[in-house]
Structure 1
């Protein structure tokens, strides 16, 4: 430290760098680093001390900015002070090289900055590699399926290596193709830019294997080892043996980062029912135990099993529960994910989802998948109209991309109907012989009828997006005319290949996107396609594979990702059952992420509060062998902090007449006993301070179709029996619409009926059968409540002012959200629940309804459409929404969570595919 400051800027920069180095070596925090640097140099001048204080203030501002980074919620154990405040250009060669690499590939500055911020947050949670402190940190990073988690991993790896980590081990899936994909990606993204800083112990062609007598190298400072290994017992045993050959002193000298990609697969202990530990889980923990300074980070988009595992395993040792941190990554810019396709229940007036889902009639499944395992070898598939339409559309999309100058890009279709490998080749032969060969012959011969069929399909599909929606997407402002595509169809068809991708496929037959030749292929497969594998340029999916597990279902969504230049083209054919399941999972995912944000806001740690996972009646959270049932608990309170709404109704006059009567009685009692006159709120009517007795009576008699709401009445009554004060007094409102028909309802006059159209299950799926029956028997609205409805009992102008005044809210202030409106209600009204009634006109119809247009070309329909007679729906519909307040002991509806610090027991493991990996001595996929 010089005695004289000289020019202040060089001195300030030097002090700042010195303080950053001290943070990474002492990990005692900014104040401790400041005290240490001042005490080490007692002869400092007043100017120098002032400059040190200025440097400390700058670091504190950076730390505060890091903490406030939105939207990257982090639940942290805070076992160490923040030690990494971001990359320094002269000391972060791996990160800056990776950053430049992303920019050169066309990533925007905003997207790269998001990766930078998120990876800084993650790096800060890793065990500080230079402090000399020994320990084992364990964390979880929650991303989105096909969202580019590898980009986050690469950024974190680069920053970890720049900061002193000497070894990175990536556990890269269960198969060779996934491991090779990860090896190639990390080498291309990180290693090749600074090869002198890396020792790479695996290659694209070879998994980890060291000859006898050869040790892992102990690298000099500034160099890092990289191992990309398959999650396979034989491979992990070899890695464990290699670690054991190092001396204790050598192991202490290599701070190690272990990244477990898709950590909910195979890494979970699935042998707990035998009071034992499954091989892969045990080997991962053994490797961690051998390393005195190690951070284990699991990456996944489906964290259910990981956040429901025990902290302690059956053998008494520490399991892989993320006890140090949980990070929820933001949805990346330009990401084409589940919410774009299925939306969430944001509001009745918002058409957020893209109209890209096509219905496969339930009857088609019998022609495309065997009924059971026993008859799989005798099953012969048939080309159904829905599969033929999907293949036709793939051809048209391929021609459209060629017209856009993208003929040299990968473009693929996915067919996923069954897990049985033997059926895949028969399905391939079917598609080749009855569709591809036939369409090639028709195009070469100029078959007018076939060309007209393709024209009709393209006109129907290309018109599904309005101009306003196209403007929101990365695609041309106008769709191509069929005349523009017609000359390109034959060449497009001739470029199509068919690929079977399953565990029985030969290496030479498998997907290979690494060559310079564009791949235009229809991929047919099963479990290999269900996780991790990226199908580049996926534009069309035919998906009827059923599952009863959250994680398996979400991971099978290979269509998520990025579609730059053709976001208007993706289409997915699926059954009604799968469509409904994905819509439920959108809300599960949002609830889990909201839970992480709330725990972060409250400052709790993973050991203080386990994340809750909501249950869906028809689905399991994950494979039962992954869940130790005695280690889980049903949360003791339901619905607090939640909002619920009725979005589906049967076509039943008796059902709706009963509900209408229940609503009329509620309003009559509310007006008589509330002590307050009804208040006009625009087109709506508010009755404040309603006694709970009227509400309970209504909830007892109001009939529900939505299963998740069935327990509301019992929940409210049990809370009242427990003397829960927040349930004593309610606000009740009837939501109306300007211009709606005016009626009297329960002695309240001037109520206006709402216009709510129903989702058309036959939209773009003109295949009849089971779809027509659904149209006649059920009304599905998708959403009933609007976010702004929750403001019916508060001052909206005051809400706007409040929203604009927030500096660090934990939610976006650019638009209304459930979080923002509910939090404001609680600030103004305290813990008061809100009951909303929605009187819906039976004669409702879409704003753009065209009775001359075919039904299958309209996404929404009048409520009476498709009914055999209007008298089948002779009564108006009464919908209901409820907003429950948050309370300190609350959970949302029907959650389970892990009981922290409990030993684990569990049930039998029955996944044959992973069992074979546990016992395979050669490590083959």
Structure 2
């Protein structure tokens, strides 16, 4: 594309975003642009839009009626290019780091509302990794939103002054300083929000600058901001606002002061988008979706793990998930060193009564950790690469008096080391420790070069001379200061070091703090993050119990992210599915107050309704499924204990079919590979396990759901002699612009709530799904349900639905198209009973309670020729 064409495309891009393809072409032609140029502009826009739809990362769960309006940066943008320039100066690799940031932030902005909409109140959640660059991501999102017209940016930056100040500094450096005339600030580096006079000077039409406000999640501060915005209401009607909630699970959820104030601020803004960022989203995912709260009802974005990031799984390994081969699951690097139980009581008081007068001992494990830290710092000086700072973290207690008690013993240890540097015995001990550690984690395995002991030894004295012991807690004035030159510090602290704040150059941690909740434990893991230039050197000393807990958390995280990715493929929304969180017998998922609305969730497939909605459309694939279904029905009819025929309704039910026939069908039926939840092997393994361990799922009810056969028999589908129904109609979703529809169809929904109750007695088909599942537990506690649907290969869409949709969304594309498969299609729905009893093999989960959410389910009864 030429520069002239790029400029023309940029000029008309807003028009292309605002109108349907046909209308935008007509309007472009009114400007006197040649038809062939109009077509090129249109094609360029479709390619950009398709690129956003097809971004592999980040995976997201999105409310189904949200349309992409933001398709990426434009040449005329100011804020995003400034960030790119700063990142390049900071030696970020253009590919893939900046490209990944560009893609993920573009995807997130595309899920926000268009700033020109008259009114909106959006709630989204971005799930990152601990110490993975979430601040950089939301800064990029803010920059792109500013480039498109968002005006007010409120950043809720944790609960501590240190994190608020750090965030303010980052945003000023990356947003304000490169374009100072484009921004007004309501807060400063050392000044949280205080009310300003004359709101019109910030929000009036005469002021076209963006407004930045970085505040702590502190009730007094938020109350002042809420009141000031309320007074400014006359100027906020046309003020698109983006609220970034950093550490969104901290103080935001289930608090009597902070939570209502955030909601008050949102209510004062007619155009507001709330975007929570956290690496520990457990509390956010358990908010009551039916309440007027901050449940991420519109979208959830799962950020990719950046290249080179040290996360839970990298350090601690994890257990295999359902369907994974344990031999293929990485067990993590050998970087964890265990602290024996006998050392615990010597480095932290075991009860409050022991705090007064407590003096920590320099145990062998603590001595080795500190000595190793000094040698790591020396080795990094030899390498001369990466972060210039060097930090060690000691975290044994939340009590500040205990922190302070470490100062004298650690400073004595440092002085003693300097005095003994000429002692051959001391040097031999250092050498032995270094050789042992570097042998356990070879540098070459992490693309580094080993630093020999004789190379680092000359640097050790300088390290000891510059090493400081810092008590960083709420009662001390000592603070880690990374702004005034490189530091070497052993930091002893608690909560002020446990969330959000980055410990620069952290290489060694000594951690024995006992906590009882997932999110608290993960956030205390300050060792997560990037270790460029010293990826082979980090070590963590902790107890065996803590190491097991972190391994469990790695499994929880992997499963949670897999749920988000899996449900994206199943075309669900945050209001129709709830991410499951695996529980632990000794740990809470989050604070009790944040779990009060949680419910017990499905264990694997237990209590779930699974249905196929992705299909190939080629004849060979479809014929294999037709053959599998017909053979299965023939066997089910012959082996069922009882058979019910309802030909006037197009229904057959075969009761108490042996499970081995179901397993044979699952072996032969082909599920589409884009539906990982609908995996015949995984489902079969689950059925076998339930039969083996709990005596459940040994028998199944099998149903056929079709339509009445018409008088000419033109819609007839015969499974086997005597068992025939009319075919059902399931149109496909219309493909996205630029996407190929060859050999692929997504029908979105196959199975209705009524169908999931087909084998139950009583008038229950119109009950909420939660009550239907409760009735299933009562009537069939150990019996599964499998439903087969013969789908007509043509399946034209219902035009009345698109007419209703067009009336509501005039610029929205048609949602449905004819199925047009080469053969008739067999759809499969399965309903699994909840696990019962004390089955030790069943993993327990909790999730948000979606039972109070009123979602209108697609009704196929009219299409299928039934009475409504």
Q: What TM-score does the superposition give when structure 1 sets the normalisation length?
A: 0.66
1:20 Cα deviation from its structure 2 partner: 2.3
Contact 1:412 1:523 in 2 (8 A): yes
Structure 1, unpaired ranges of 5+: 1-7, 27-31, 271-277, 643-687, 694-708, 727-804, 810-830, 832-884, 904-925
- Asked if 1:459 corresponds to 2:435, the answer is yes
- Asked if 1:259 corresponds to 2:271, the answer is no
For residue 75 of structure 1, the aligned residue among 33, 58, 61 is: 61
For residue 472 of structure 2, the aligned residue among 501, 515, 521 is: 501
Contact 2:395 2:492 in 1 (8 A): yes
For residue 418 of structure 1, the aligned residue among 376, 391, 397 is: 397
Alignment of 1:497-896 (within 5 A): 497-506=468-477, 509-515=478-484, 517-628=485-596, 631-638=597-604, 713=690, 717=694, 719-720=696-697, 723=700, 893-896=843-846
Q: Secondary structure at 2:333's aligned position in 1? A: coil
Alignment of 1:92-241 (within 5 A): 92-109=77-94, 110-130=96-116, 132-211=117-196, 217-218=202-203, 220=206, 223-241=209-227
1:57 Cα deviation from its structure 2 partner: 2.9
1:55 Cα deviation from its structure 2 partner: 2.5
Aligned pair in 2 of structure 1 residues 480, 898: CA closer, same or farther (>3 Å)?
Answer: same
The corresponding residue for 2:414 is 436
1:376 Cα deviation from its structure 2 partner: 1.9
- Asked if 1:246 corresponds to 2:246, the answer is no
Any idea what the Cα deviations from partners look like across 1:37-96, whole Å, max 9, x if unmatched? 344467688x83443333223322222221221131111114442110000112x11001
Whole-Å separation in 1 of the counterparts to 2:381 and 2:265: 50
1:527 Cα deviation from its structure 2 partner: 1.2
1:244 Cα deviation from its structure 2 partner: 1.5
Q: Secondary structure at 2:305's aligned position in 1? A: coil
The corresponding residue for 2:305 is 331
Any idea what the Cα deviations from partners look like across 1:228-285, whole Å, max 9, x if unmatched? 101100110111121022133x111211000000000000123xxxxxxx11001000
Aligned pair in 2 of structure 1 residues 413, 147: CA closer, same or farther (>3 Å)?
Answer: same
Q: What TM-score does the superposition give when structure 2 sets the normalisation length?
A: 0.70
1:894 Cα deviation from its structure 2 partner: 2.1
The corresponding residue for 1:362 is 341
Q: Secondary structure at 1:505's aligned position in 2? A: coil
Whole-Å separation in 2 of the counterparts to 1:341 and 1:806: 42
Whole-Å separation in 1 of the counterparts to 2:198 and 2:475: 35
- Asked if 1:301 corresponds to 2:270, the answer is no
Whole-Å separation in 2 of the counterparts to 1:886 and 1:585: 32
Aligned pair in 2 of structure 1 residues 569, 238: CA closer, same or farther (>3 Å)?
Answer: same
1:195 Cα deviation from its structure 2 partner: 0.9
Whole-Å separation in 1 of the counterparts to 2:389 and 2:174: 20
Whole-Å separation in 2 of the counterparts to 1:19 and 1:283: 40
1:406 Cα deviation from its structure 2 partner: 5.2
Q: Secondary structure at 1:582's aligned position in 2? A: helix
The corresponding residue for 1:286 is 264
Aligned pair in 2 of structure 1 residues 151, 691: CA closer, same or farther (>3 Å)?
Answer: closer
Any idea what the Cα deviations from partners look like across 1:189-209, whole Å, max 9, x if unmatched? 222111111111111111111
Whole-Å separation in 2 of the counterparts to 1:226 and 1:173: 16
Q: Is 529-538 or 479-488 further displaced after alignment?
A: 479-488
Any idea what the Cα deviations from partners look like across 1:144-184, whole Å, max 9, x if unmatched? 00001111011001001001000111000101001001011
1:455 Cα deviation from its structure 2 partner: 1.2
The corresponding residue for 1:814 is none
Aligned pair in 2 of structure 1 residues 715, 896: CA closer, same or farther (>3 Å)?
Answer: farther
Contact 1:259 1:298 in 2 (8 A): yes
Aligned pair in 2 of structure 1 residues 240, 474: CA closer, same or farther (>3 Å)?
Answer: farther
Contact 1:344 1:586 in 2 (8 A): yes
Whole-Å separation in 2 of the counterparts to 1:252 and 1:107: 39
Alignment RMSD (CA, Å): 3.2
Contact 2:391 2:505 in 1 (8 A): yes
Contact 2:508 2:538 in 1 (8 A): yes
The corresponding residue for 1:899 is 849
- Asked if 1:449 corresponds to 2:420, the answer is no
Aligned pair in 2 of structure 1 residues 724, 299: CA closer, same or farther (>3 Å)?
Answer: farther
Whole-Å separation in 1 of the counterparts to 2:387 and 2:5: 52
Whole-Å separation in 2 of the counterparts to 1:266 and 1:50: 56
- Asked if 1:490 corresponds to 2:475, the answer is no
For residue 15 of structure 2, the aligned residue among 15, 18, 22 is: 22
Any idea what the Cα deviations from partners look like across 1:328-358, whole Å, max 9, x if unmatched? 0000122122222123346426765211111
Whole-Å separation in 2 of the counterparts to 1:41 and 1:329: 37
Q: Secondary structure at 2:410's aligned position in 1? A: helix
Q: Which has the higher contact order (CA 8 A, sep 6+)?
A: 1
Any idea what the Cα deviations from partners look like across 1:342-398, whole Å, max 9, x if unmatched? 233464267652111111112211111111223322432211111111011011111
* Aligned length in residues: 649
Contact 1:411 1:538 in 2 (8 A): yes
Aligned pair in 2 of structure 1 residues 260, 239: CA closer, same or farther (>3 Å)?
Answer: same
1:489 Cα deviation from its structure 2 partner: 1.4
Aligned pair in 2 of structure 1 residues 807, 638: CA closer, same or farther (>3 Å)?
Answer: closer
Aligned pair in 2 of structure 1 residues 448, 606: CA closer, same or farther (>3 Å)?
Answer: same
Any idea what the Cα deviations from partners look like across 1:834-865, whole Å, max 9, x if unmatched? xxxxxxxxxxxxxxxxxxxxxxxxxxxxxxxx
Whole-Å separation in 2 of the counterparts to 1:198 and 1:890: 57
The corresponding residue for 2:817 is none
The corresponding residue for 2:739 is none
The corresponding residue for 2:629 is none
The corresponding residue for 1:427 is 406
For residue 341 of structure 1, the aligned residue among 301, 315, 320 is: 315
Contact 1:23 1:83 in 2 (8 A): no
Contact 2:71 2:106 in 1 (8 A): yes
1:690 Cα deviation from its structure 2 partner: 11
Structure 2, unpaired ranges of 5+: 321-325, 609-658, 665-685, 704-741, 747-785, 787-827, 835-841, 854-868
Aligned pair in 2 of structure 1 residues 641, 99: CA closer, same or farther (>3 Å)?
Answer: farther
Whole-Å separation in 2 of the counterparts to 1:312 and 1:601: 24
